[in-house]
Amino acid sequence: MSAPDQGAAPAPVDASADWRGVATEDTDELSASASSFLRGRSRRLLGELLRPHRRALWALLSVILVQNLAWLAGPFLIGVGIDVAVPALLGGDPWPLVWTTAAMVGAAVADAALRYLFLVGSGRVGQEVLLTLRRRVFRHVQHLPLSFHERYTSGKTISRLTSDVEALAELLDEGLDGLLTALFSVATIGVVLLVLDLPLGVVALLGFPLLYLLSRWFQRNSTIAYRRTRQTIAALIVQFTETFGGIRAVQAFRREDRNDRLHAELNDENRRANHRAFWLIAVFVPAVTMIGNLVTVAVLGYGALRVLDDDLAVGVLVSFLLYLRRFFDPLQDIAMFYNSYQSASAALEKLSGVLEERSVLTEPAEPTPLPAAAGEVVFDRVRFGYGAATVLPRLDLTIPAGQTVALVGATGAGKSTLARLAARFYDPIDGQVRLDGVPLDQLSDADLRRAVVMVTQESFLFSGSIADNIAFGRPDATRPEVEGAARAIGAHRFIEALPQGYDTDVRKRGGRLSAGQRQLVSFARAFLADPAVLVLDEATSSLDVPSERLVQRALQTLLADRTSLIIAHRLSTVEIADRVLVMDGGRLVEDGSPAELIAGTGRFADLHQAWADSLV
């Protein structure tokens, strides 16, 4: 790609680098947590999630402990059977055999029953923890300010709520059970081996240094490999969502082939990363088995010699060998567990990171009540910027209640920024925005959202009927009120013509609305919500010129009796305004009635002339 013969030619635009960048950013947080134990905030989150289930968890722990003991009894009883019961039977006494067999059956039944209890119980706790977590993340993220959502793409939010929660589920459902069993059995069997026969135990433990080295090797490499797989799959998902999110642009510019190539490339990287991860497991698992078998051979050889010397009972040797098997099998599970542990701890880290995000737009502890706003909006020495750069250096503006203000200016002038501040999607860095004399950050969310409504160009329709969508801002509205709003806005006619009228599902065939129709629905929604202050950001730009008159009337109805701030893109909209503000570089450069400004020699006069010319 970066072949030297390209010389000084500009580097080709290669968006794949961006995708990888996005993906890396999302997996960066991972590196610290994957290799070590959970970090502070992850541990805190886990603690909070598990605390309500403390009792159940202790009960589960005791259940699995007893279950393990029952399970451990098996090899021991077999040894007793061989050394005691069989000789006794040969001597004519059947009772030792009866007792050992009964004990074995009892242990087997207890093992199964306790295992059942554990699986059911841990499954229930796991599901409850996940439910709580998912609800908590959803509620939290929904309340985070726009500035968070602009930084944190919806793809990332989606993966928090789906794959990350699932990674935890996997750990709780399968991994934890496997890990607890493995830890218990490795610890208890280790002790049992030494107690059963010390010299044989020592021989068995000789395999340990090898096992230790092997595990270290596996752990170190699989951490890296695992991280690669996460990064490559994240890059793949980002490319996927961008391709289909922007499918119109993709098809319009015929970028399908290039996307195909990129997809193939990213897929291949993911395949390679997964291949490496599988290869590590493919080496680790048989290697553990082989060490186990070699140790078994050594124990068998040495044990047989001791039996020959009459130093060791055959039954003890058999028990020993059976325990040895049970000792090595769980070690292989730990390898599998390690992978799910890594996903889960990375997921927990990211989830706790999201939950740590604080809304900068906090609701005041003691809000100033404003049950019925009049609608006077004041920007008082407002300074604002999204990051380091200042967008609005200093804005002073008073909009009296009931005034209709049209805001015009070049792209990037800061019109949308002003609108967002008026609706408190952001707080100013300096200065205040006030509604009826009350700073917006002193209002309760309920009062603020009732008083100020912003309608943007992306008039989003939610799953449900047209009526539901209109009533979105006032869910208690009656059907006549909904229809009244639609009628006032001029949307009634086309809604009536839909297959099921107001009950038409907007996601179904026949319910698909044009951009202009969606806009009218969002006007009706705002009309029904009936705010004191209405902010329209480019909200009329998706309406076509033929419906101009209709829109004109709709707008006039919508704007009557309330303070309105319209970011205007057409002459007709400006003409219905009481006042025009011209914005340039974050400052208001002209302010007056449309007639005054047209008569003058400023920018608006030029703009107006250009508009007028284009209509001829």
Ligand X SMILES: Nc1ncnc2c1ncn2[C@@H]1O[C@H](COP(=O)(O)OP(=O)(O)O)[C@@H](O)[C@H]1O
Amino acid making up residue 152 = Y
Least gap, CB of 411 to ligand X (angstroms): 4
Shortest reach from residue 389's CB to Mg ion, in Å: 16
Interaction partner, residue 68 (Mg ion, ligand X, none; CB < 5-8 Å by kind): none
User: Binding marks (x or -) toward ligand X, 500..519, rule CB under 6 A?
Assistant: --------------------
Output the CA–CA distances (angstroms, integers) from residue 217 to 30, 291, 339, 340, 472, in the order listed: 20, 15, 14, 18, 57
What is the closest distance, in whole angstroms, from the C-beta atom of residue 150 to ligand X in the complex? 5
406 forms bridges with which residues in the sheet? 566, 580
Token representation of residue 277: 């991860």
The whole-angstrom separation of Cα 183 and Cα 192 is 14
* 411 or 614: CB nearest ligand X: 411
CA atoms within 13 A on the CB side of 393: 8
Judged by CB under 5 A, the stretch of 1-9, 144-152, 189-197, 415-423 that binds Mg ion is: 415-423
What's the closest the beta carbon of residue 415 comes to ligand X, in angstroms?
3
- Report, in Å, the least distance between residue 147 CB and ligand X: 7
CB of 386 to ligand X, least distance (A): 3
**What is the x/- site pattern for ligand X, positions 129-168, by CB under 6 A?**
---------------------x------------------
Binding partner of residue 199 among Mg ion, ligand X, none, CB cut-off 5 to 8 Å per kind: none
Q: Please, which residue, 82 or 382, has the CB nearer to Mg ion?
A: 382
In the complex, least distance from residue 27 CB atom to Mg ion, rounded to whole angstroms: 33
CB of 396 to ligand X, least distance (A): 18
Residue 27 interface partner, choices ligand X, Mg ion, none, CB cut-off 5-8 Å depending on type? none
Residues within window 189-228 making contact with ligand X, judged by CB under 6 A: none
Which range binds ligand X by CB under 6 A, 94-102, 130-138, 292-300, 405-413? Answer: 405-413
Q: State the chain's maximal CA–CA distance in angstroms.
A: 125
399 exposure class (CB count in 10 Å sphere: 0-12, 13-18, 19+): buried
CB-based burial, 126-161: b 16+ in 10 Å, e otherwise: beebbeebbebbeebbeebbebbeeebbebbbebbb
Question: In what order do the strands lie in the sheet containing 579-584?
Answer: 452-456, 533-537, 563-567, 404-409, 579-584, 587-592
Write the interaction track for Mg ion spanning residues 365-404; mark x where CB under 5 A is met and - where it is not: ----------------------------------------
Under the binding rule (CB under 6 A), the answer on residue 391 touching ligand X is yes
Q: Which does 412 bind (CB under 5 to 8 A by kind): ligand X, Mg ion, none?
A: ligand X
Reference 327, options 202, 221, 184; nearest CA is 184
Residue 411 contact, options ligand X, Mg ion, none, Cβ 5-8 Å cut-off depending on partner type: ligand X
Residue closer to ligand X, measured from CB, 278 or 386: 386
Cβ contact 357:345 at 8 Å? no
How far is it, in rounded angstroms, from Cα 571 to Cα 592? Answer: 15
Distances (CA, A) of 37 to 280, 328, 336, 337: 22, 24, 17, 14
- In the bound complex, what is the minimum distance in angstroms from residue 416's beta carbon to Mg ion? 3
Structure tokens at 486: 């639609």
* Footprint on residues 410-429 left by ligand X (CB under 6 A): 411-417
CB-nearer residue toward ligand X: 324 or 574? 574
Among 122, 181, 340, 416, binds Mg ion (CB under 5 A): 416
Evaluate whether 312 touches 142 at the Cβ level (below 8 Å).
Answer: no
Cβ proximity to Mg ion: between 416 and 469 the closer is 416
Gap between the Cα atoms of 496 and 499, Å rounded: 8
Contact residues toward ligand X (CB under 6 A) are: 150, 386, 391, 409, 411-417
